Each structure stands twice: as C-alpha cells, then as structure tokens.
Amino acid sequence: MAGTTHLRFERDIAELQRQIDGLRALADEKGIDVVREIEVLRSRLAAMTEETYRNLAPMERVQVARHPNRPYMLDYVERLFTDWIELHGDRSYRDDQAIVAGWASLDGQSLMVIGQQKGRAMKENLRRNFGMPHPEGYRKALRLMKMAEKFGRPVVTVIDTPGAYPGLGSEERGIGEAIARNLREMAALRVPTVSIVIGEGMSGGALGIGVTDRILMLEHAVYSVISPEGCAAILWRSRDHREKAAEALRLTSSDLLRLGVADDIIAEPVGGAHSDWEAASRSVSDALRRQLDELTALDTGELLARRWRKYEAIGDWAGKAIEKSGFTGPRLDTGSGRSMGAGG
C-alpha cells in the first residue's frame, strides 16, 4: 500500500492517530503499560472517523474518490481474481496502458476484466497517462469484449478515470468515434456485463467501458458527465465554485442510486477504501459475485431486454427516479417526457 496521505477534512483524525502512535512508541521505550489509554484513544478515533465520513460533502467525496492511496484497478485484480492473464493492443495502433484488460477467474468462472489504471509514482503515471485512455485503449477494450462474447464469458469493467485523453493525437485518431462505437456495441453484447466505479468516473471516458447490465459504485466513488472543476469553469468561469458544482451534479453514489443510474452501492470500510484495501476488496468481491450469479441465470433474450429497459429508464427525466431523488432543478420537456441523453 502507498504511503499515508491525509485530506484536509482528515486532519483531526490524523492528529489523533499521531497521538496513539506517539503513546505506543513511548510505552515501548519506557516499558510502561498504556493499554487502557490507547484503547480510549482508539475508541475516540473510530467514532471521529465514522462521524466524519458519514457527513462528507459532495466535493469531499470527490477528494476521497481521487485519494492517492485508494486501491486502483490492478490492486483489486490481485485480490479478487485468480489466473490473471493480461492481453494487449488494439490490433491497429498500439497498446494503451491506461486501460488494462485480460482473462481472469472468479470462483472457477472465467471472465474478461477490463479497467482503467492510474499510476502512483510519476513514472508510472506517465506510462498510464494518469488513467486517461486514448482511442486505442477503447478499441482494445472493445476487441476483448467481443472476444469474451465469442466464448460466452461475462465482462467486468472497472471504472476509474478523470476522463478520456483530449490531446491532439487522441482527437486525430478518433477518440469520439471510439467511445461512441463502444457505447453501441456494449449495449448489444450477448453476455452478462457488470461495471464497478471504484474511484472517479468522469464523462465519456467512463462511459466508454460503462454501458453494462449492472453499474456498481463504491460508497465514496463518484460518477458524472463532467468534473466539478470543469463544470465550475464553464458555468461560473472559476474553479473556486467547484463545491457548488459538485452539489449540483448529483455525482455521489447515493444520488445516483436514487436517480436509477447506479444499481448497487458497495460499502467501504470506515475511513474509505484507502484505509483498508483488504476489507474494500472483500466488499467488492461479495457484490460482484451476487450480481454475476443473478445475470448468468438469465437467458440472452431476457438479458438484452432488461439492459435496454435500464438505459431507457435512465433517460426518463420525468420518471419516478427523479421524483424520488428530491431533485428540484430544471427538467427538459421534449414532449415525450424524455431528455435527449442519459447523462453521467
């Protein structure tokens, strides 16, 4: 696990942890018994951590989703699956290492796992392009989804990206077309598909591997049509309004569950997934097993019919999901009661 990094709202938690560590070090040095004192501090620490994470603002959840110590796609692969065999290349241009994919086994069941991978150190981040895929990354993903379909194996995608890479070369090689093709082809895949948003899922970069039968989100993950900073820059001409943008975007897991976008929220350990990778991985594993068991029991016709109904409902702005959410913003009335797009 990477070194410790604390967010601003975690400062009191970090200070209490330093007190516990200092007391433990003093006890070891002086040979004194401070078990009761440490237990009291640990109890306070647990209560403080739970209270802090229960009351996070949307922008604070974005910060947790981006936490540098948070487990990434390959960290979950290592803990969830066996028989991992990574596959490379789009058979057209190159291998994009911002998207990692390969065969794996879960409880003896073979499946295709595809996900976005960020780096921790600068060298790896440059190699992974900070988790921002190029067109060839999405074409690699689609090639392997079609391979899984050919062999009748489920597809699991892991979403964690600030967005697709918007550079000149990416545009020249057709990033918009690559994502659009994935949306169309994923909607028609004849095998069960599950996506898991483990960190940040932003814009079309997330959607390019996110059109699945079930969308799962870790408790502190976020999923949105645009980042809060990008939204603030467009609407208020300043990133200083990112907190307001994060609130308006309804990008938290609880918001998206109410809106009918997410199908399930995966609980994180108290203090976030970055505080306990093993516990977070167990939660993801349990949720994934449950979803795959339900989906693999369906015949192909029913699987596709349910998938189409799911995405039609996401676009229904006048439907029950919006009413249940308590959303009071403007609605787009096109005469059919449906917006022009499904959004984030």
Does residue 309 sit in the same domain as residue 219? Answer: yes
Would you say residue 180 lies in a domain? yes
3 state SS of 110: strand
pLDDT greater than 80 at residue 131: yes
Q: Are residues 32 and 158 in the same domain?
A: no
Residue 334 within any structural domain of the chain? no
The residue type of 14 is A
Question: What's the angle, vertex CA 135, arms to CA 176 and CA 158, rounded to 5?
Answer: 100
Helix axes 135-150, 175-187, angle to 10 degrees: 20
Query: Do 43 and 126 reside in the same domain of the chain?
Result: no
Q: Residue-wise over 74-93: b if at least 16 C-beta within 10 A, else e?
A: bbbbeebbeeeeeeeebeee
Strands 193-202 and 214-218: parallel
205 domain residue, yes or no: yes
Q: Total domain count for the chain?
A: 2
Are 73 and 212 members of one domain? yes
Give the residue ranges of DSSP H helices in 115-270: 122-128, 135-150, 168-172, 175-187, 203-207, 228-235, 242-249, 253-258
At which residue do the structure tokens 């065999």 appear?
Answer: 85
Residues 184 and 89 both lie in one domain: yes
Predicted confidence band of residue 18 (pLDDT cuts 50, 70, 90): confident
Residues 232 and 139 in one domain: yes
Total number of residues shown for the chain:
344
Instruction: Check whether 133 has a pLDDT greater than 70.
Output: yes
Q: Is 45 found in the same domain as 76?
A: no
Q: Provide the whole-model pTM.
A: 0.85
The phi, psi pair for 315, rounded to 5°, reads -85, 0
The answer for residues whose C-beta is within 8 angstroms of residue 208's C-beta and 6 or more apart is 133, 138, 141, 164, 178, 179, 182, 183
| Tens of pLDDT, residues 46-98 | 887 888 888 899 999 999 999 999 999 999 999 999 999 999 999 999 999 99
Q: Is the pLDDT assigned to residue 314 strictly greater than 90?
A: no
Domain that holds residue 39: 8-55
In a domain, 336, yes or no: no
Residues 6+ apart with CB under 8 A from 212: 155, 157, 186, 193, 194, 195
Confidence of residue 336 (pLDDT cuts 50, 70, 90): very low
Q: Is-contact 93 115, C-beta < 8 A?
A: no
